[in-house]
Structure 1
Amino acid sequence: MPKILSVKQLYAADTATVKKNDISFIDLMEHVGTLCFQWIHDRLQGDPITIQIFCGTGNNGGDGLVIARHLKQYGYNVKTHIINCGNDRSEVFLKNYDRLKEIGVWAEMITCESELPAVSENDMVVDAIFGLGLSRKPENLIKKVIEHINGSNAFVLSIDFPSGLYAEKSVTDTVSVVKAYHTLTFQTPKLAFLLPENRYYTKTWEVLDIGLDAEYIYNAKTDNYLLYKQDIKPMYRFREKFSHKGEFGHAVIIGGSYGKMGAVTLSTKAAISIGSGLVTAHIPQCGYQIIQTSVPEIMVEVDAENEMQKFDININATVIGIGVGMGTHIETVKGFTEFLNKNKVPLVLDADALNIISKNKELLKLVPENSVLTPHPKEFERLVGKWKNDYDKLKKLRSLSKKHKIIIVLKGAYSAIAHEGALFFNSTGNPALSTAGSGDVLTGIITGLIAQNYHPFEAAKMGVYLHGKTSELAMKTKVYETFIASDIIDYLSSAIMDLLMKEPKVVPQKEAESKNDKKAKPDEGTEMYI
C-alpha cells in the first residue's frame, strides 16, 4: 500500500539512500533527472517540438539541468532558462550547471531586467523551478515567470511538484502556482495532489520510482495511504463449490419516502448485486409495488404510508444500510432515534440518516463501533461544521472517526476513508460518478459486502474501489455525461473481474542507441497530448 510521506520523511529517505548505496547527492540527482528525461523521450521519440526548461537555483533546478543536458545530447530542440534572482544556489545545482556548460550549452539567465522568453502554445514547458520543499509563496520575478508560463497555453510538465504549490499547507496566492498538465512526482504519492483545492495545479500526475531506500520507506510511519488494485485484491474472498446463500448474510436497506423510492431501489439492487445472500428493503408502503417490480430478487417490509416512522424490522439482519431517500420528516426523526437506541447491528449510514444526526450530534454516541458513514462533502460539513481549507477538513475527518470509533467514507475524487486516525485515499473513479444516485449505490455495495462478513473497514475500501472502477471501465463505451447510477451496478461484474485479473508484464522500452533515433508520434492512447 503506497504511503504518503511528509517532506521531512522524503528528505530523510534521500539521505538514507545516499548513505546505504555509498553514492553522492549529485549521483542521485543524475539518476532522477535521467528517469525524467527517459519519460519525455519515450513519448516524444525525437519530435522536433521546442522544449523550454525553466530552472530555479535549488535542487529542483538541478533536476531540470540534468534533463536539459540529456535532451540536448539526444538532439532535441531545448531552451534552458535559469531564474537568476538571488545568491542562493545549491551545490548540486552548480555542479549540473557546469556539466551543462561542458557540452557547450549555456543556459539563458532570466533577471529582473531581462525580457521573459517567448513561449508558444506549441512548445513543451518543463517546470523545474521549485520542488516540494517550498515554504513561502513565490514573489517578484519568480511569480512573474510563473504567470508567464501559465499564460502560454503550452503543455507544462512539472518535475516532482508544480512550482509554487505547497506540500503540506494551502496555497495563499493562486496566481503564483504553476498550472501543470502533468507532474512527475518522485517515489511516493503526495497529499497535495489528492485535495480538491489544488485541482487546478496539475491535471494528471504519476509517481516515478527513483529507487529511494526501500527499508527506510517500509519503516516510515504515516497516517496517509493511497489504495491501489494490489491493496484491494488480497481482500477478495472466492466462493466454494458447496456454499449457499445463508453463508453470505442478510442485508437490510432502510429508506425511501414518497417521491424518493429510486434511492432505496438502487441501494438494494447494489447490495444483492455485490453478493449479499439475502436483501430486504424496509420502506414506506407507497414504495412497495415500485421496489417489488424493480428488484424482484429482494424481500420487502413496509412501514407507514409515505415515510419511515416505526423502523420495526422483523428479520435477523447481518447489517443495516440506512438513510437513502429517507427524508427528515418529524416522525421519521423520532422513529430513527428510537431505532438507534435499540439497534445492535452494524450500520452503514448515508444521506438523511446523516442529516438527522447532524442536527442532534448526541445520536453519534448510539452508532455502533465500526459502523460506516458515507457523507458527501456537504453532509460532512453539516456533521463537523465549516473548515478553513482541505487540510483542516482532513483533520476534522480523522478526529470524528477516532472519537466515535467509526469508519467514515468522505466521498469525492480520491474518496478518503478514515479509520483509527489514518486516512486511506481511493485511486479509482472519474467525473462520471458525479450523477444522482451514485452515493446510494455505494451504500448498497458496502452494506452488501459487510453482509458477507467482510470487516466494515475492508468493505469500505473494497466498495469504494469497485464503485470507482466501474466508471473507468464504462468509459470504453460511454462518456461521462451518459453514465448513470444504474450503470455502476451493471459494471460491478467487470470491476470484480478486473480486480482479479493478473497484471500484464511491463516490458521496458529499449533505450535509444543514438541521438538520431527514428522519430515517432507520442504513444496512442496517452492522455498527455504534447
Structure 2
Amino acid sequence: MKIFSKEQIYEGDQLTAKNQSITSTELMEYAGIQIFNWLHIRMQGAQVPIHVFCGIGNNGGDGLVVARQLITHGYNVKTYVVNCSDKRTKDFLVNYDLIKQTTKKWPDMLACESDFPEIHKDDIIVDAVFGIGLNRPVKDWVKSLFVHFKKSEAFTLAIDVPSGVYTDKAIEDENGVVWANYTLSFQSPKLIFFLPETAKFSTQWEVIDIGIDRTFLLATETESELIGKNEVVPMYKPREKFAHKGDYGHSLIIGGSYGKIGAVVLASRAALSIGAGLVTSYVPKSGYQILQTAFPEGMVITNQNDAVISEIEFDIEPTVIGLGIGMGTATETVSALEKFLKTNKTPLVMDADGLNILSKKKTLLKLLPEKSVLTPHPKELERLIGTWQDDFDKLEKAKQFSKKYTVILVIKGANTITVFDDKYFVNTTGNPGMATAGTGDVLTGVITGLLSQGYSPLNAAIFGVYLHGKAADIAIENLGYQSLIASHIIETLGEAYIDLFSQPEQPQVEEAQPDD
C-alpha cells in the first residue's frame, strides 16, 4: 500500500475535482459522509454525547460535514469551532453556512480556556481541528484544549491525523497534540503512524477511501510503501517438482565467540528453515560440538582460534554469507574481517558485531559488495549513521547512507523500515514479544536464506522482515508476548509461508457508501 505525502494528497484532490467535474466542496462532502458512515455503522443511533471540534481550515470543514450528518440522523451532537485564526478556507465557510441551516444550535466559538466545554469520560470527541496542512506550532490556549481532551479520557476519533502532528517533521511539544484512540486517515496511511515519536498519538488507525482519482493513485510513485501480505505474495518463489538442494543455494553463516555460539545456531537454523538448500556455519573451535549437536542438518567449519574468529578462510563457494552475529570485536577478529572484505565478492548480510566493526572502521564500508544488506538495531544504526535529532532526521540520514554506500538498511523496530536508495518500505508484521534475545540473529538467517534461494537483495530484505514478523505473530497466539523466544520464530516460519496463501488480505480501507 502506498503512503502518500501531503503534497501528493493535495495534488490528488485537485486532479479528482478536475477529472470528475466536481467542486472541492463536493469532494469534502463525500469525505465527511464516509467518516459519518464509519461512526453510524458502529453507533447505531446510540445517544452518547458527541463533541465535534472543528478548526477553520479544510479539516474543520470535514468536521462540519460529519457534525451535520450526525445532527440530521438524530445523534446527540455538540459542535465547536476552534477559532485559532482570522483566516478561513472557502470550503470551511460553505459548510459552516450549511450547518447553521441544519440546526438552531449553531457551533460554539472557542477562543480561550474559559470557553472549553465540559467533557465526560463516556463522551466521544471528534477531532477535526487541524489536518495534514499544519506547519507551525499551535497557540497556547489550543494546547490547553488538547490537554483538556486527554484529561477527560473520552474516546477520541481524529479525522485524517491527530491534530498538532506534522506529517513531515517532528513536533515541538507533546501537549500541543491530540492523543487519539482512533484515526481515520484519508486515502492512505501516514508515515507518522509508524514512527516511534509520533505513532503513540494514535492507538489505532484505519484508511478511509475518499474517492481520489484511481488513475492518479495507481500511477503516482511514493517515497514510502506499507508492506503487507498483498505486497509480498508477488515476491514469493514457488518450488519446482524436480528441484534439489543445489537449486536453493548454500548459505554460510560466519560469527560466534566463546559464550556466544548460540547466535550462530539461531541464524543457521533460520537460514535453513526459510528454504536455503545448504547451510554451513563458520565459528571458533569452541563452537564445533555445539553446532554439530544443536544443528545436525548443517555443516560446520572452524578457524584455529578456540575463543574468537581470528581468520576467515574456507574452501567452499557459498551463494551468500551472513556475518557478524555473536562475533565480538576482538583485535584479531577486526583484522580477519578487514582481510576478508578486501577479497570477498559474495553477497553479504551483516548484523551485530559485523556492523560494530564497520562503525569503528568506516573505510571498510567501501569494501562491501553492492546491495549488501545491513540489519542494525537502533544503537547499531546510530554508530553507523551518527546521532539524529528526530525520526525524520534518522530516516533522511539512513537514506543518504544507503545511497552513499549502495547498501540496503533494515532498521529494526516495532515497524521495521527497510531503506534503499530513495525509498522506505514499512513492515506491518511483528509484535512486542520480539523484544527478546536472539530475534535479530534469526532475521539475519532468514534474509541470508532468502538470498540463497535467488531472491534479489531488496526483496530478500523486505520479504524476510515480513515473514520474520509474521512467524512471531503466529507464535504468540499460543505463547503470548512474554514467553516468546527466538527459537519459536524459527519453528513457525513454515506457518508464515503457509499463511501467504491461506486467504486474500483485505485492504484497510473503509468502503462505506454515502448515506442518503
The TM-score, its normalising length taken from structure 1, stands at: 0.93
CA contact 1:165–1:171 (8 Å) conserved in 2: yes
CA contact 1:280–1:301 (8 Å) conserved in 2: yes
**Would the alpha carbon gap of residues 369 and 509 (structure 1) be closer, same or farther in structure 2, given more than 3 Å must change?**
closer
Q: CA deviation at 1:60?
A: 0.5
Pairing 1:81–2:80 present: yes
Q: Aligned equivalents of 1:350 and 1:290: distance in 2?
A: 21
State the AA in 2 paired with 1:391: F
In the other structure, the counterpart of 2:449 is: 448
**Would the alpha carbon gap of residues 308 and 508 (structure 1) be closer, same or farther in structure 2, given more than 3 Å must change?**
closer
State the AA in 2 paired with 1:338: K
3-state SS in 2 of match to 1:500: coil
Q: Aligned equivalents of 2:291 and 2:68: distance in 1?
A: 66
**Would the alpha carbon gap of residues 470 and 250 (structure 1) be closer, same or farther in structure 2, given more than 3 Å must change?**
same
Post-superposition Cα deviations, 1:368-390, rounded to whole Å, max 9, x if no partner, equal 11111111111011011111211
In the other structure, the counterpart of 1:525 is: none
Aligned-residue identity in percent: 49
**Would the alpha carbon gap of residues 244 and 163 (structure 1) be closer, same or farther in structure 2, given more than 3 Å must change?**
same
In the other structure, the counterpart of 1:335 is: 336
3-state SS in 1 of match to 2:425: strand
Pairing 1:408–2:385 present: no
Q: Aligned equivalents of 2:422 and 2:274: distance in 1?
A: 28
In the other structure, the counterpart of 2:293 is: 293
Q: Aligned equivalents of 1:448 and 1:73: distance in 2?
A: 59
Q: CA deviation at 1:194?
A: 2.0
CA contact 2:113–2:145 (8 Å) conserved in 1: no
**Would the alpha carbon gap of residues 504 and 364 (structure 1) be closer, same or farther in structure 2, given more than 3 Å must change?**
closer
Pairing 1:134–2:134 present: yes
CA contact 2:373–2:407 (8 Å) conserved in 1: yes
Q: Aligned equivalents of 1:48 and 1:481: distance in 2?
A: 40
In the other structure, the counterpart of 2:111 is: 111
**Would the alpha carbon gap of residues 508 and 256 (structure 1) be closer, same or farther in structure 2, given more than 3 Å must change?**
closer
Q: Aligned equivalents of 1:121 and 1:477: distance in 2?
A: 34
In the other structure, the counterpart of 1:145 is: 145
Q: Aligned equivalents of 1:18 and 1:513: distance in 2?
A: 21
Q: Aligned equivalents of 1:471 and 1:424: distance in 2?
A: 19
Q: CA deviation at 1:268?
A: 0.5
CA contact 2:158–2:184 (8 Å) conserved in 1: yes
Q: Aligned equivalents of 1:152 and 1:262: distance in 2?
A: 50
In the other structure, the counterpart of 1:40 is: 39
Q: CA deviation at 1:46?
A: 2.5
Post-superposition Cα deviations, 1:58-98, rounded to whole Å, max 9, x if no partner, equal 11111111111222222222221111243222221122122
CA contact 2:37–2:512 (8 Å) conserved in 1: no
3-state SS in 2 of match to 1:166: coil
Q: Aligned equivalents of 1:44 and 1:190: distance in 2?
A: 26
Q: Aligned equivalents of 1:160 and 1:513: distance in 2?
A: 20
Comparing 416-425 and 300-309, the one that deviates more: 416-425
In the other structure, the counterpart of 2:427 is: 426
State the AA in 2 paired with 1:9: Q
CA contact 1:42–1:509 (8 Å) conserved in 2: no
State the AA in 1 paired with 2:118: A
Q: CA deviation at 1:472?
A: 2.3
Q: Aligned equivalents of 1:468 and 1:510: distance in 2?
A: 31
Q: CA deviation at 1:513?
A: 8.7
**Would the alpha carbon gap of residues 54 and 224 (structure 1) be closer, same or farther in structure 2, given more than 3 Å must change?**
same
CA contact 2:207–2:510 (8 Å) conserved in 1: no
Q: Aligned equivalents of 2:353 and 2:512: distance in 1?
A: 56
Q: Aligned equivalents of 1:289 and 1:369: distance in 2?
A: 35
State the AA in 1 paired with 2:3: I
In the other structure, the counterpart of 1:523 is: none
Q: Aligned equivalents of 1:404 and 1:390: distance in 2?
A: 21
Q: Aligned equivalents of 2:171 and 2:193: distance in 1?
A: 12
In the other structure, the counterpart of 2:236 is: 236
Comparing 326-335 and 142-151, the one that deviates more: 142-151
Q: How many residues align?
A: 513
Q: CA deviation at 1:512?
A: 11
In the other structure, the counterpart of 1:277 is: 277
Q: Aligned equivalents of 2:447 and 2:458: distance in 1?
A: 10
In the other structure, the counterpart of 2:218 is: 218
Q: Aligned equivalents of 2:421 and 2:462: distance in 1?
A: 14
Pairing 1:268–2:274 present: no
In the other structure, the counterpart of 1:522 is: none
CA contact 1:253–1:322 (8 Å) conserved in 2: yes
Q: Aligned equivalents of 1:371 and 1:217: distance in 2?
A: 32
CA contact 1:85–1:112 (8 Å) conserved in 2: no
State the AA in 2 paired with 1:349: M
Post-superposition Cα deviations, 1:167-225, rounded to whole Å, max 9, x if no partner, equal 11111122111111111111122122221111321122122121211222333343222
Q: CA deviation at 1:508?
A: 8.7
**Would the alpha carbon gap of residues 308 and 505 (structure 1) be closer, same or farther in structure 2, given more than 3 Å must change?**
closer
**Would the alpha carbon gap of residues 286 and 508 (structure 1) be closer, same or farther in structure 2, given more than 3 Å must change?**
closer
Pairing 1:367–2:368 present: yes
3-state SS in 2 of match to 1:151: helix
State the AA in 1 paired with 2:313: D
Comparing 498-507 and 128-137, the one that deviates more: 498-507
**Would the alpha carbon gap of residues 100 and 486 (structure 1) be closer, same or farther in structure 2, given more than 3 Å must change?**
same
Post-superposition Cα deviations, 1:227-282, rounded to whole Å, max 9, x if no partner, equal 22111101101111111111000001011111111111110010000000000011
Q: Aligned equivalents of 2:401 and 2:226: distance in 1?
A: 20
In the other structure, the counterpart of 2:187 is: 187
**Would the alpha carbon gap of residues 408 and 19 (structure 1) be closer, same or farther in structure 2, given more than 3 Å must change?**
same
**Would the alpha carbon gap of residues 44 and 482 (structure 1) be closer, same or farther in structure 2, given more than 3 Å must change?**
farther
Pairing 1:3–2:22 present: no
Post-superposition Cα deviations, 1:35-56, rounded to whole Å, max 9, x if no partner, equal 1111122222233322211111
Q: CA deviation at 1:497?
A: 1.2
Q: Aligned equivalents of 1:192 and 1:332: distance in 2?
A: 40
In the other structure, the counterpart of 2:19 is: 20
State the AA in 2 paired with 1:206: E
Q: Aligned equivalents of 1:508 and 1:164: distance in 2?
A: 24
Q: Aligned equivalents of 1:271 and 1:36: distance in 2?
A: 46
Comparing 417-426 and 370-379, the one that deviates more: 417-426
Structure 1 gaps of 5+ residues are: 515-530
**Would the alpha carbon gap of residues 509 and 461 (structure 1) be closer, same or farther in structure 2, given more than 3 Å must change?**
closer
Q: CA deviation at 1:6?
A: 2.3
Q: CA deviation at 1:101?
A: 2.2
In the other structure, the counterpart of 2:63 is: 64
Moved over 3 A (4+): 504-514
State the AA in 1 paired with 2:87: D
**Would the alpha carbon gap of residues 512 and 355 (structure 1) be closer, same or farther in structure 2, given more than 3 Å must change?**
closer
**Would the alpha carbon gap of residues 504 and 137 (structure 1) be closer, same or farther in structure 2, given more than 3 Å must change?**
closer
The TM-score, its normalising length taken from structure 2, stands at: 0.95
Structure 2 gaps of 5+ residues are: none
Q: CA RMSD in A?
A: 1.9
Comparing 263-272 and 172-181, the one that deviates more: 172-181
Q: CA deviation at 1:113?
A: 6.8
**Would the alpha carbon gap of residues 221 and 54 (structure 1) be closer, same or farther in structure 2, given more than 3 Å must change?**
same
Comparing 140-149 and 10-19, the one that deviates more: 140-149
3-state SS in 2 of match to 1:475: helix
